[in-house]
A and B are shown apart, each in its own frame.
Chain A
C-alpha cells in the first residue's frame, strides 16, 4: 500500500469546491514539501502544485494546496467537467535523495 493516504474518491457538481486530503508521517510530509499531480485517463501525470502551495504558471488559480503537520490538502474551486481525473499527492520520504512517495490517488468525479 501507499505511504501517503488519500481518499479513493471525491465528487462535486460543476462550480462546487472539492477538497482532497493526503495524510503522511513525520518522515515525509512532516519534514518535506508536498506536491500534487493530476492524471487524465490514458495520459501522463501533470504537476499541479509544488512546494506545498505553489502553482506552475499554466495551472489556474482554481487549484490550491496547503499543508499542516503531517497532512496536506488540495482544493479545487469552481469545479469543471475537465477536472474529472485522478489526483496524486507526493512527498520526499526520510531524505531528499528518496524515495519520492506518492499517495494512493483520488478519483474526482464531476456529477
Chain B
C-alpha cells in the first residue's frame, strides 16, 4: 500500500525544538524528492522545505531559514524536519509530500499531516 505517515507533532513551548518524521511505503523512496508543507488550521498552504533524492539540493522557505533543517535516510525510507527555535507562528499541520521527479517539481502524494502547536 502506498502511504506516507508523519509523526512527531505535539505541543511545545516557544523557543524549544521538535523533530518531525515521515515514513514512506509503496514508493521507490530512493528516487523521490521529499517536501514538507504546513497549514495553519483554516488557512492556506505554505511550503516549508524540500530535499532532492540524493540530498544534493535542499531548499527552505524564508520564514524557516536558519531554524529548520530537512534531512533524509533512504535506508529507513524516511524524511525528517528538525525544527529549532520554534515560534507561535509555526503552529500548523505539517504534511510531508513526495515528488516523483526526484528534483523539485510537483508534490505528488501527501501524508495526512501531524499537528504542531507552539504555545506556552
Contact = CB atoms under 8 A, between A and B. Distances in A.
Interface residues of A, number: 26
Interface stretch (B14-22, B24-32, B74-82, B98-106): B98-106
A51 B61 contact: no
Interface string A81-111: 0000000101010001111111111000000
Interface string B41-63: 00011110110000001111110
A96 B108 CA distance: 17
A2 B37 CA distance: 14
Contacts of B49: 98
Q: Which 10 A-B pairs have the closest CB atoms?
A: A98-B59, A50-B106, A100-B47, A97-B59, A44-B110, A102-B45, A99-B61, A105-B44, A35-B106, A96-B104
Interface of B: 35, 37, 44-47, 49-50, 57-62, 95, 103-113
